Structure 1
Amino acid sequence: MPTLGIDLGGTNARAAVVDEHGQILTSTKVSLTERSPAAVVEVIAQAVAGAMVAAPGVEVRGCGVGAAGQIHRDSGIIAVAPNLGWRNVPLAGMLTERLGRPVRVVNDLAAAAWGELNAGAGRGAHDVYVVFVGSGVGSSIIANGQLVRGGGGVAGELGHTKVVPGGRRCGCGELGCLEAYVGGHNLIALARELLVSGRSTVLAELAEGDPARLTPLTLERAAEAGDPGSREIHERAGQMLGMAIANMVTVLNPARLILGGGVLMNCPGLRRFIVEGVQALASTTSREGLLIAEAELGDDSGLIGAALLGA
Structure 2
Amino acid sequence: MTDSGSTLAIGIDIGGTKVAGGLVNESGTVVDHVRRDTPHRTTEPKVVEDLIVEVVHELLARATSDVIGIGIGAAGFVAADRATVVFAPHLSWRHEPLREALVQRLDIPVFVDNDANAACWAEYRFGNVQGESHVVMVNLGTGIGGAIVVNGRIQRGRFGIAGEFGHMQVMPGGHRCECGNRGCWEQYASGNALVREARSLVLAGSPLAHDLAASVDGDPRRLTGPMITEAARAGDPTAEELLAEIGTWLGTGLANLANAFDPGAFVIGGGVSAAGSMLLDPARDSFRRHLAGRGYRPEARIVQAALGNESGFVGAADLARTAVLERADATAGNGR
Would you call these one fold, judging by a TM-score over 0.5?
Answer: yes
Amino acid in the other structure paired with 2:13: D
Q: Deviations over 1:101-127 (max 9, x none)?
A: 331111111000001111111212121
Query: 2:163 is matched with which residue?
Result: 156
Deviation string for 1:181-225 (max 9, x for gaps)? Answer: 222123212332332123x11213322122134344638859x86
Alignment map for 1:1-311 (pairs within 5 Å): 1-33=7-39, 35=42, 36-56=44-64, 58-74=65-81, 76-198=83-205, 200-208=206-214, 209-216=218-225, 218=228, 221=232, 237-266=246-275, 268-282=277-291, 283-284=293-294, 288=298, 290-311=300-321
Moved more, 46-55 or 183-192: 183-192
Give distance in 1, aligned partners of 2:56 and 2:198: 38
The alignment's TM-score, normalised by the length of structure 2, stands at 0.82
Q: What amino acid is the match of 2:211?
A: E
Q: Give me the whole-angstrom Cα distance separating, in 2, the residues matched to 1:302 and 1:234.
A: 23
> CA separation of 1:285/1:91 partners in 2, compared to 1, >3 Å: closer, same or farther?
farther
> 1:248-287: per-residue Cα shift (whole Å, max 9, x none)?
1232221222112221322643322211122233244896
The CA deviation at 1:234 is 5.8
Of 181-190 and 171-180, the range deviating more from structure 2 = 181-190
**Contact residue 203 and residue 218 of structure 1 kept, 8 A:** no
Q: Secondary structure at the match of 1:62?
A: strand
Tell me if structure 2 keeps the 8 A contact 1:191–1:230.
Answer: no
Q: CA deviation at 1:132?
A: 1.7
Counterpart-to-counterpart distance in 1, 2:308 and 2:173: 34
Q: Distance in 2 between matches of 1:276 and 1:2?
A: 42
- Relative to structure 1, the CA distance from residue 96 to residue 138 in structure 2 (aligned partners, 3 Å threshold; closer, same or farther) is same
* TM-score normalised to structure 1 length: 0.88
Task: State the distance in 2 between where 1:67 and 1:179 align.
Answer: 17
State the one-letter code of the partner of 1:3: A
Number of corresponding residues: 306
Q: 1:287 to 1:129 in 2, by over 3 A?
A: farther
Stretch of structure 1 that moved more, 213-222 or 31-40: 213-222
Other structure's SS at 2:68 match: coil
The answer for unaligned runs of 5 or more in structure 1 is none
Q: After superposing the two structures, state which structure 1 stretch, 277-286 or 256-265, moved more.
A: 277-286
Report the CA distance between 1:151 and its aligned residue: 0.9
Structure-1 separation of matches of 2:237 and 2:309: 32
Whole-Å separation in 2 of the counterparts to 1:145 and 1:109: 16
